[in-house]
A and B are shown apart, each in its own frame.
Chain A
């Protein structure tokens, strides 16, 4: 079954609005990673969070890792058309080598 759940599956926003995607795991994660895939492209690594409660920022993007290390979120402030794409979260579990558990992704559409 799906190890990492990600919601929403789709999000349509007007340019300038905020956007948030959420990632939840049934088990504790060792780390969480976020990727962005532009239409027609391949996933590109954005960031990795390792510590409980960690918050990292990249310009308009804010990433959080939950206190229990079972959930994470990506928030984009004031979206731009360049933010269009699918955002994936992916986690690792300490008991499992050689594998990342990917969420199904949130497809973001930004209308100008």
Chain B
């Protein structure tokens, strides 16, 4: 099976702009999670979707949003970019069997490296 793919891999934006990142999960995985990774903060949970429904959300401002499509592909959007949004954004898919199932193992994509100048 193909792994998790993320596009684009690298992105440079200026403050105030918005950005959309894309994630294609492993075929058959209905759970997709997003994380922000910075050297000082480790892996910060953004949100998780299962079959197009957001099941959980981390403590990020409303500028960070996401969605999941019927084919399980997911996007996250960051509006009004700030310098502090520079980070590696990781997407992970998981073979959770149902909406009420706890997350199993996560398969991470290579990430999108976002630089805000």
Which A residues contact B (CB, under 8 angstroms)? 30-31, 33, 35, 41-45, 48, 88, 90, 92, 94, 96-105
Contacts and interface: CB of A to CB of B under 8 A. Distances in A.
Given A41-B110, A97-B103, A102-B45, 15 more contacts: A33-B106, A42-B108, A42-B111, A43-B43, A45-B105, A90-B106, A94-B102, A97-B100, A98-B48, A98-B50, A98-B56, A99-B33, A99-B55, A102-B43, A105-B43
Interface residues of B, number: 29
Contacts of A90: 106
Contacts of A104: 41-42
B31 interface: yes
Interface string B34-58: 0100000111010011100011101
Given A48-B104, A88-B43, A100-B33, A42 B56 contact: no
Contacts of B64: none
A105 B42 contact: yes
Nearest to B41: A104
B21 interface: no
A19 B31 CA distance: 33
A5 B110 CA distance: 25
Majority secondary structure, B binding face: strand
B102 A92 contact: yes
Nearest to A44: B108
B107 A45 contact: yes
A98 B110 contact: no
B45 A42 contact: no
Contacts of B109: 42
B103 A102 contact: no
B110 A42 contact: yes
Interface in B87-102: 90, 92, 99-102
A88 B110 CA distance: 17
A33 B35 CA distance: 16
